[in-house]
């Protein structure tokens, strides 16, 4: 049953006498916000919230209670409760809370629609079952390609970066696939799948070549990099783990706590996306990397942009001073290559030397 309640913004309200009935409503319709009590027959408010997330990942939920416990508060936060309201609730406060939650729910829907349009697909991101189905399909299409990393001065191969490819159009980049997997708690499964496929392909890695692998900092704590079931540990002495400079302070700290274990297994460390992330020198201090990788956005047009040239030259001077080799990523033209060589750069990666391929192809030098 739907009825309106008075407010500055009118609401159409669907009523349910218990949690089971409410879940049936959610299966049939989309809501901008949900208001529920903690204590209800059949299912508690937290149990209802847990079941709800199988149907709608985004809808804001307001929980009402006379006295929240720590356990219920932690569970409610885990499953995305937007707010607690303590009884008795003043009508004005109730209307304000529901209005704010409804606005957030509407914003989430707009964002899903905008993403679907930009990706030329109408995937309903708020629907967990559909997302699980599409992600399962995506996992099945994941392949690994390899791009050469070279020494420009010596004209020799240094190694390869392993890059993920996925045939699902919505997940053409690692970032979008990771974001989708994260939403339903599948990040660990995704990372393990990628590492397993990298390890399986590495049997053809040329002798002495390094293998650069992008990793999530939390993987070091979750047994994905070191341990009996860690796919990359058997080839650790060839692997350089790349951690993005966009990682948060907490993520960098999580990996730093495991750095001795990682190095003990044979892994080396690289900081990726240098010059574009907010963590800056913090990543250097926490991880003490063996390599840093200069982001393509700083290299584009290097040979024609004097200001960009001065900035990159300064970054090379600093990395030489602290004794960490820098790899220029995304070198696309001979002009960019020559500008790098002129400032004393050596290691590089980009289509100029070889495009990503399904095998360890020799670089063009």
CATH number for 142: 3.20.20.450
3-state secondary structure 71-105: HHHHHHHHCCEEEEEECCCCHHHHHHHHHHHHHHH
pLDDT on residue 28: 79
pLDDT higher than 90, residue 329: yes
141 lies in the same domain as 97:
no
pLDDT digits (tens, 9 = 90+) for 81-124: 667 677 787 888 888 888 877 777 676 666 555 544 454 444 44
Q: Is residue 313 part of a domain?
A: yes
> Which is higher by pLDDT, 48 or 332?
332
Mean pLDDT of 3-10: 48
212 lies in the same domain as 272:
yes
> Which is higher by pLDDT, 324 or 281?
324
The DSSP annotation for 151-206 comes to: ETTTTEEEEEEEEEE-SSGGG-SHHHHHHHHHHTT-HHHHHHHHHHHHHHHGGGPP
Mean pLDDT taken over the chain? 81
Q: Is residue 364 part of a domain?
A: no
pLDDT on residue 280: 53
Classify strands 34-37 and 61-65 as parallel, antiparallel or unpaired: parallel
Domain count, the chain: 2
Mean pLDDT of 13-42: 80
104 lies in the same domain as 150:
no
Q: Is residue 365 part of a domain?
A: no
pLDDT on residue 85: 72
pLDDT digits (tens, 9 = 90+) for 289-311: 999 998 888 888 888 888 888 88
94 lies in the same domain as 235:
no
Q: Is residue 355 part of a domain?
A: no
pLDDT higher than 90, residue 75: no
pLDDT on residue 3: 43
Q: Give me the domain span that covers residue 309.
A: 128-349
* Contact by Cβ (8 Å): 252, 217: yes
* Contact by Cβ (8 Å): 192, 231: yes
pTM of the model: 0.68
pLDDT on residue 48: 78
């Amino acid at each position: 049953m739907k009825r309106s309640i008075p407010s500055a913004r009118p609401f159409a309200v669907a009523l349910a006498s218990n949690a089971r009935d409410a879940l049936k409503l959610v299966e049939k319709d989309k809501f901008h916000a949900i208001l529920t009590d903690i204590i209800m027959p059949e299912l508690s408010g937290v149990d209802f919230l847990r079941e709800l997330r199988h149907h709608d990942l985004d809808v804001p939920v307001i929980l009402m209670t006379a006295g929240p416990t720590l356990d219920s508060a932690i569970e409610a936060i885990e499953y995305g409760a937007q707010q607690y309201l303590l009884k008795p609730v003043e009508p004005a406060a109730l209307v304000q809370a529901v209005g704010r939650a409804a606005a957030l729910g509407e914003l989430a829907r707009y964002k899903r629609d905008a993403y679907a349009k930009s990706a030329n697909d109408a995937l309903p991101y708020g629907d967990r079952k559909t997302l699980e189905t599409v992600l399962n399909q995506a996992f099945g299409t994941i392949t690994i390609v390899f791009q050469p990393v070279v020494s420009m001065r010596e004209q020799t191969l240094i190694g390869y970066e392993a890059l993920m490819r996925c045939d699902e159009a919505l997940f053409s980049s690692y970032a979008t696939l990771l974001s989708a997997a994260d939403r339903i708690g599948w990040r660990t499964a995704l990372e393990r799948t990628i590492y397993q496929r990298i390890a399986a392909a590495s049997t053809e890695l040329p002798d002495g070549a390094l293998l650069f692998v992008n990793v999530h900092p939390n993987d070091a704590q979750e047994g994905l990099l070191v341990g009996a079931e860690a796919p990359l540990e058997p080839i650790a002495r060839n692997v350089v783990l790349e951690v993005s400079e966009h990682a948060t302070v907490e993520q960098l700290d999580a990996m730093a706590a495991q750095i001795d274990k990682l190095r003990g297994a044979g892994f080396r460390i690289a900081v990726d996306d240098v010059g574009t992330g907010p963590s800056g020198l913090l990543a250097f201090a926490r991880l003490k990397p063996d390599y840093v990788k200069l982001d393509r956005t700083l290299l584009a047009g290097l040979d024609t942009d004097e200001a960009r040239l001065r900035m990159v030259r300064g970054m090379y001077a600093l990395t030489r001073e602290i004794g960490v080799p820098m790899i220029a990523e995304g070198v696309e033209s001979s002009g960019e290559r020559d500008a790098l060589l002129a400032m004393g750069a050596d290691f590089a990666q980009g289509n100029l030397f070889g495009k990503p391929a399904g095998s360890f192809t020799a670089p063009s030098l």
